[in-house]
Copies of this chain bind each other. A is one copy, B any other.
C-alpha cells in the first residue's frame, strides 16, 4: 500500500524516486487513535504537522453552548496545516471520525524537505491552496445550497478526493462516517440529513448502506448538486512532461 501523501501530491506534480523517498521518510506512522478522539484541542500549542495515513479525521469548532461545526474533513493523504507553528495556539480542534493512523512531522522536517526539493515545495503549496479552495466551496455550500445540493456536492467532492488517492472503485467508496457527523459538517440536523439521504436515494442519485457509498451516475449527481470540480485543481502541471 503506497503512501497516500505521495499519491495525493502526484496528482499535481510528477515526483522523482528520490522525492518520493524523501516524502515517505518524513510521513511515517507515529500515532494511532480510535474513532471520536481529539488529535489536538482548541487553545493548545501545535507541536507537529499531522498527516492522515489511514482513516478519516476533521477540523471542528465547538461553541460555548454546545453547537458543533465540522469545518473540514481530512482523508488519507491530507495534511493538517503545514504551517500551524506561525500562530502560537490552535483556534480550533482536530479530531478523528474513524480510527486513524497519523504521521506527526516536526516543523523542521517539512522545512528541510521543501528546501532540498523545490518540486515538493511547490506540491505542498498546491496542497495548501487546494485546502483553502475546498474551504471556500464549503462556504458556498453552507451559504447557498439546499440540503440535497449540499449533501450531493459533498459526496462528489469526497469521491473525487478519495479517487485521487486510489481509494475508490469505479462507482463506490468507503464512507465510514455517521449521519450526525454529516449534519455537523453541513450545518443540518441529523433528522434532516436522514430525510435528505432518503430523497437522494429515492432519486437514484446515491446508494449508501453500511459504510459504503455508491454513486451510480456521477454526471447526474454532479448536475443535481451544481458540482464543478474545477476548484479541486487536479490538473498536472503542463510544464512537467508526462513522459517518464
How many copies of the chain does the oligomer comprise? 2
Chain B residue contacts of A187, Cβ below 8 A: 142-144
Chain B residue contacts of A235, Cβ below 8 A: 88
A71 contacts B by Cβ under 8 Å: yes
Q: A128, A144, A226, A233 — which one has the most chain B CB atoms within 10 A of its CB? A: A144
Chain B residue contacts of A231, Cβ below 8 A: 91-92
Would A132 and B129 be within 8 Å (CB), given that A139-B71, A140-B71, A187-B143 are in contact?
A: no
Nearest chain B CB to A196 CB, angstrom units: 15
In chain A, positions 114-165 with a C-beta closer than 8 Å to chain B are 122, 125-126, 128-130, 132-133, 135-140, 142-144
A63 contacts B by Cβ under 8 Å: yes
The CA-CA distance from A225 to B122 in the complex, in Å, is 40
Do A91 and B230 touch (CB < 8 A)?
Answer: yes
A207 contacts B by Cβ under 8 Å: no
24 pairs of residues in contact across A and B, judged by CB atoms under 8 Å? A59-B136, A61-B136, A61-B140, A63-B140, A69-B139, A69-B144, A71-B139, A71-B140, A72-B136, A81-B129, A83-B125, A83-B128, A87-B129, A87-B130, A87-B233, A88-B235, A91-B136, A92-B136, A135-B135, A135-B139, A139-B139, A139-B142, A143-B185, A144-B187
- Interfacial residues, chain A to chain B (CB-CB below 8 A): 43, 59, 61, 63-65, 67-69, 71-72, 81, 83-84, 86-89, 91-92, 122, 125-126, 128-130, 132-133, 135-140, 142-144, 185-187, 226, 230-231, 233, 235
